[in-house]
Amino acid sequence: MKAQVTADPPKHKPLFRGVCASSITPFHADGTFAFARLKPHIDWLIAEGVSAISPLGSSGEFAGMETDDRKRVLEASIEACAGRVPIVAGTHHVSTRLTIDLSKHAQSAGADALLIVPPYYMAPTPTQTMDHYRRIAEAVSIPVVLYHNIPLTSVNLRTSHLVQLFREGAIRGVKMSNPEPDRICSLLQETGGQLSVYAGIDSVAFEGLCHGAHGWISGIPSMVPAAAVKLYEAISVKGDLVAARQIWAKLSPLMRLQFSAYQSGGDGAHWFSVMKAGLNMIGPEVGDPAPPVLPLPVELHETLASILRDLGYAAQAKP
């Protein structure tokens, strides 16, 4: 089943270029949505200079939320953003039916584009996954960015699969959360840069931007957006690799701390614990992660605060 759409229909707006922050979902201690904390968080992200905001990505803790709660969070995020930057709404779910429902809602609520990870847990085949995106494309008229995340979906669409989906018009972009920089490079080369490709994990951000990635959506852009914008501009706008290396030398310790447990597959700092702790240190209070993810261990607070201070933020370790 293939969507009968073109690769660039006129009704589709161009996707953003630059740094996109994955906004967090603030919760109360009982697990309910903390509405009052959302707008200050989004205001702060925009003041930091982001080019777009993506609610209900991984940082939005979507996987632990009911469908109705996801819709409420997205509506509140769109209202808080008030059209200042594009909204790339996370509308992923375990089934095609629920993904389409969330995607239609996002479009009607005013989202500019959709960010959709392949269905998780059931690990559909590449053929089944491609059909999933074709069905979504038939149901909406705003651009779809495919969120390529093998570890959390067990789905590995190859470059040929992604290019085919792009040429059919089922997707307009890819967030490539793969530790191999060549996955970004090959996508850009195969599509002549027409497919919007975003560095989706911080460990390949430097190389991905050097290859010509259209932007960056990951942990660092969501926690220290102004610092991420400096790196993006040094590479993608000014072509100043000397300055970019100096900026990355200060950003890379944060990347290594943030993904220490994720990359080792063992204990260590959880990426989301680092993110929320960092945001609490330098911006409006966003609260703690929802269990099973726990707050950052106290013994790592000063390490994180020191890294943030080196990046120019007035960070204070909190008890």
The set of catalytic residues is 147, 175
Pairwise CA distance, residues 234 & 19, whole Å: 12
Q: What is the DSSP letter of 234?
A: I
Paired tokens of 276? 């929320």
Pairwise CA distance, residues 274 & 295, whole Å: 8
Q: Could you tell me if 27 and 236 are in contact, meaning their C-beta atoms sit under 8 angstroms apart?
A: no
Task: Output 163-166 pairs: Cβ under 8 A, ≥24 positions apart.
Answer: 163/187, 163/190, 163/191, 163/195, 164/130, 165/130, 165/133, 165/134, 166/7, 166/191, 166/194, 166/195
Q: Could you tell me if 220 and 254 are in contact, meaning their C-beta atoms sit under 8 angstroms apart?
A: yes
How far lies 287's CA from each of 280, 296, 317, in Å? 7, 12, 15
Q: Given the structure tokens 């008229």, which residue do they identify?
A: 141
Q: Is 20 helix (H, G, I), strand (E, B) or coil?
A: strand
Sign of CA dihedral 196, 202, 203, 205: positive
Q: Give me the count of residues in the chain.
A: 319
Sign of CA dihedral 94, 117, 190, 134: positive
